[in-house]
Amino acid sequence: MAENYSEYDVHANVNCVECHETDEHQIGRRIPLDSTHEDYVEVKSCDSEGCHAGISHGGIVDAHLETIECETCHIPMLPGGNITGKAPISSFSWENGVLEETYHESNFTPTLAWSKGIYNEKLPVMASKDEEGVKLKAFNPINGVWWDEGLDQDVLTNPDNSSSLGNPISPSIVKAADSNGDGKVTSSEIRSYDGNLDKQPDYPNAILRHVDLLYQVSHNIVSKDIGMSDPLKCDNCHGVSASGSLHVNWTLLGYDKDPAETTPPTNFSAKEIPVTIPGQKPVEVEREPAF
């Protein structure tokens, strides 16, 4: 971990187990929705007692919390390069049977996407805004490329967006399918590969998948005083004031346009977000003496 990491995350000096509580050697984590494991310990949420319970950002922003996670606005930027000790991965590919990776060498913006949570038996891809229980969350998207046998109809129909795990082909087999030895594996090569020498292709329906895998982020939390950027405000996502520099892709999220669009257009840069902390001492107002 970089020595200056405390400059990038307000929780940098918080002990890990304060959020990731442990019980019987089980460390708090996000619990897969399809899990049958009964001993999982869930990681604390932002509004847990002793954390940020009761904090208000005003009626309009608080109403957003029904569909938006706190991190969505409080992780506006992620560190690239070696700020955190190692550059975060941007993509990986097993297309040619050997692992090829790219990394974020500079700071980057997380992707905002709909999600219901994580699964053991599904790929972490974007959910639909119309699914019950979805929330808008911040993710580090990692583009993954690999060959699939093409046995799953959903994968064949929608290879790049299906959440199905499918039937990945082993990298060693992919590499062996490179019949001309040029280091590049083509569709015809993998589909005609006959590894068991029975004169029948082993993977006649093989398909190359390019999937944006969404990994939810919870670190690099910013405040108005600490972080790589200020927390998002209304005009980062809505209104004419953010035109050309929106933090959110409304089309990607399933909207035809900004759902807060008004006629005439609203300048959301004028909107302030108040913060009320339970038990906080009121701001003292200086006044002239009465006498």
Single out the residue of 131, 17, 72, 74 nearest to residue 275, CA to CA: 74
Looking at residue 281, what is its pLDDT?
64
CB 174 within 8 A of CB 186: no
C-alpha span between 185 and 207 (Å, rounded): 12
**Helical H segments across 141-241, by residue range:** 153-157, 171-176, 187-192, 234-237
Percent of the chain residues topping a pLDDT of 90 = 52
> Tokens in use for 54?
């009761």
Q: What is the mean pLDDT of residues 163-191?
A: 98
Q: Are strands 22-23 and 89-93 parallel, antiparallel or unpaired?
A: unpaired
User: What pTM, to 2 d.p., does this model score?
Assistant: 0.84
DSSP string, 138-163: EEEEEEEEEEE---SHHHHHSTTT--
Range with lowest mean pLDDT among 80-84, 92-96, 283-287: 283-287
Q: What is the mean pLDDT of residues 243-253?
A: 74
pLDDT at position 2 over 60: no
Looking at residue 242, what is its pLDDT?
52
**pLDDT grade, residue 199 (50/70/90)?**
very high
**pLDDT grade, residue 241 (50/70/90)?**
low
Handedness of CA 175, 176, 177, 179 (dihedral sign): positive
Q: For residue range 35-84, what is the model confidence (pLDDT) as tens digits? A: 776 667 778 888 888 888 888 999 989 999 999 999 999 999 998 887 76
Q: What is the mean pLDDT of residues 265-284?
A: 78
pLDDT at position 1 over 60: no
62 three-state secondary structure: helix
How many residues appear in the chain?
Answer: 291
| Higher per-residue confidence, 145 vs 233 | 145
Per the listing, tokens 């975060």 go with 88
Looking at residue 262, what is its pLDDT?
86
φ, ψ for residue 175, nearest 5 deg: -65, -40
Per-chain mean pLDDT for the chain? 87
- Hey, where are the domains in the chain? 56-229, 233-282
Q: For residue range 121-165, what is the model confidence (pLDDT) as tens digits? A: 999 999 999 999 999 999 999 999 999 999 999 999 999 999 999
Peptide bond preceding 168 in cis form (omega within 30 of 0): no
pLDDT at position 215 over 90: yes
| Higher per-residue confidence, 167 vs 39 | 167
Q: What is the mean pLDDT of residues 256-272?
A: 85
Question: Residue 245: which residues within 8 A CB-CB, separation 6 or more?
Answer: none
Q: For residue range 100-116, what is the model confidence (pLDDT) as tens digits? A: 999 999 999 999 999 99
